[in-house]
Structure 1
């Protein structure tokens, strides 16, 4: 049965809203405190959302869902950074997977790693800005870089956990994409 354009739009909107909620829940419920924030498994849903929703809707779901995590956790000043970084992470993953005809675990892992690199670079820049300019936690360019470097291990841990959890979710998300959004 061929679905109408209007039906596809409505289903796409519903799935986008559901992914925003799942990303928010994954990022909000489990939080592992660190010296400079917290680690949460929301990245697994960002990655799964990129597989399920594609570039535009994946960007929107990741950006809104994870920015809401920051707002709810009291890190409101981080929400604009997170909006951009997590959105770009999902956009990168979806863009890579869009070019891959035959999906496999290796292809998902490769796309997830590139998305994680985008995330790590984004948060490194964000931490340098936050540490040096906004919070005054460091002085000068070198101080800002050192401040950003101090967050790298936590950021890396978060994306590694996200990738590990997202690997078994990716084929399921791809099947749902084909069944409901194609």
Structure 2
């Protein structure tokens, strides 16, 4: 009986793995599209970044996939940089967006019925990761590429981008909240749970 039960569970694990890979690929593609299509270069010659709506999709992905959203967030966002001529930003984007997806995914998985005001707090922390992460990266980037005065000048240049990153953060909060009802219905662990229940009662 035990051996039979273990064998019966194998198809479930395969289905769950396939579902995660499928969801992950689709969400990475949506993050890529949202980042490229809704992309607004920072209107200052000294700065090389851009504002986009990809963060809102990362938040939705975290609600759907939990911590697995880190992979979709990292790959989709980094590919957007590579395809948008921001190649040097891609490694930092991979790390920063991955951390955002991981943190949000852990929190939304731990608190699946989180209230909207608590979700605002989670998204705000994610955007703080984004803003601070890019500030540190840009500080060193501008210090090494454009600034003869070293880190101090690099920090000043990077600080100019902070308001633009903050605007992106506000957009992510609004988009994340707007997509929250749909994302909750698509939650992958909820889908797995329903499929298991259906099989148990058939």
Structure 1 equivalent of residue 20 of structure 2:
12
Tell me: CA distance 1:132–1:12, structure 2 relative to 1, closer, same or farther (3 Å).
same
Moved over 3 A (4+): none
User: What SS does the corresponding residue of 1:102 show, helix, strand or coil?
Assistant: coil
Any unmatched runs of 5+ in structure 2? 1-8, 194-202
Greater alpha carbon shift after TM alignment, 153-162 vs 95-104:
95-104
Deviation of the 1:91 alpha carbon: 1.0
Q: TM-score, normalised to structure 1's length?
A: 0.91
1:121 matched to 2:132? The reply is: yes
8 Å contact 2:66–2:102 — kept in the other structure?
A: yes
Superposed CA offset, 1:13-60 (max 9, x none): 1000000000000001122232233211111111111111111x2110
1:42 matched to 2:54? The reply is: yes
1:79 matched to 2:90? The reply is: yes
Structure 2 equivalent of residue 66 of structure 1:
77
8 Å contact 2:123–2:172 — kept in the other structure?
A: no
Tell me: CA distance 1:138–1:112, structure 2 relative to 1, closer, same or farther (3 Å).
farther
Deviation of the 1:99 alpha carbon: 2.9
Matches for 1:33-182 after TM superposition, within 5 Å: 33-34=41-42, 35=44, 36=47, 37-55=49-67, 57-100=68-111, 102-133=113-144, 135-137=145-147, 139-177=149-187, 178-182=189-193
Any unmatched runs of 5+ in structure 1? none
Q: Matched residue pairs, number? A: 179
Larger RCO (alpha carbons 8 Å, 6+ apart): 1
Deviation of the 1:136 alpha carbon: 2.7
Give the Cα separation in 1 of the matches to 2:85 and 2:122. Answer: 31
Deviation of the 1:137 alpha carbon: 3.4
8 Å contact 1:50–1:93 — kept in the other structure?
A: yes
RMSD over equivalenced CA pairs, Å? 1.7
Q: TM-score, normalised to structure 2's length?
A: 0.83
Deviation of the 1:141 alpha carbon: 2.2
Tell me: CA distance 1:150–1:10, structure 2 relative to 1, closer, same or farther (3 Å).
same
